[in-house]
Amino acid sequence: MTQSVAGKPSGKYVPPIRFGLGGVPLGNEFEVITDEDAYRTLDAAWSAGLRYYDVSPWYGLGLAERRFGYYLHNKNRNEYVLSSKVGKLLKASRRNDAKSNFPFSPSPNNVVFDYTADGVRRSVEDSLQRLGIEAGRATEIPVAVSRLGLPAWTMPSLSSASSVEIMPITPPSNA
């Protein structure tokens, strides 16, 4: 679907869903949110008809992904859109500095930024694990996470943009 301006197509992608729930607060970004409160929030959003959910490994260093995955894993996958970001790998560490980024997160992980092809692939695989969504064959990945994005702040030349264009995931040609 493309957007139109004054009746003329602009060529810009317009997602089919205009409103969604972001995962930052459910990753304990601003305060401690209990699992119970997180699931009540997700349930209220679902009951209100929200079907677009945005998560990231960054949100609570995996906590938001685990919470969204736990809630969504029994829902029909064709009924919602899930987006995530790539390039952030979570590594368990005894010298954990998670509290410097997320003071309310119980995460044992440090974040490693890796935007190489292997890093992006690993980031998707790790997110699917935390979400509890089976990747299975490569052809199933598009139905697991609907959209992936690369935050613009990760690349200095893009700092004036709010984000790099989010694109649908397509399976590799050898799948």
Cα 85 to chain centroid, rounded: 5
Q: Is residue 64 part of a domain?
A: yes
Residue 118: its H or E element: helix 117-131
Angstrom distance (rounded) from CA 68 to CA 142:
18
Angstrom distance (rounded) from CA 155 to CA 106:
28
pLDDT for the residue 25 = 95
Whichever domain contains 57, its CATH number is: 3.20.20.100
Q: Is residue 138 part of a domain?
A: yes
Q: Is 13 one of the annotated active-site residues of the chain?
A: no
Q: Is the dihedral angle over the CA atoms 3, 158, 121, 67 positive or is it negative?
A: negative
Q: Is residue 3 part of a domain?
A: no
Angstrom distance (rounded) from CA 12 to CA 110:
36
Cα 50 to chain centroid, rounded: 16
Angstrom distance (rounded) from CA 6 to CA 137:
43
In the chain (175 residues long), the average pLDDT of successive 10-residue segments reads: 56 71 94 97 96 92 94 88 88 82 85 88 90 54 47 42 40 43
**Residue-number span of the structural domain to which 79 is assigned:** 12-86+124-168
Catalytic residue among 52, 59, 71, 80: 59
Q: Is residue 68 part of a domain?
A: yes
Backbone angle region of 26, left / alpha / beta, with phi > 0 → left and psi within -120 to 50 → alpha: alpha
Is 0.75 surpassed by the pTM of this model? no
Chain position carrying tokens 């003329």: 8
pLDDT for the residue 39 = 98
Give me the number of domains the chain comprises.
Answer: 1
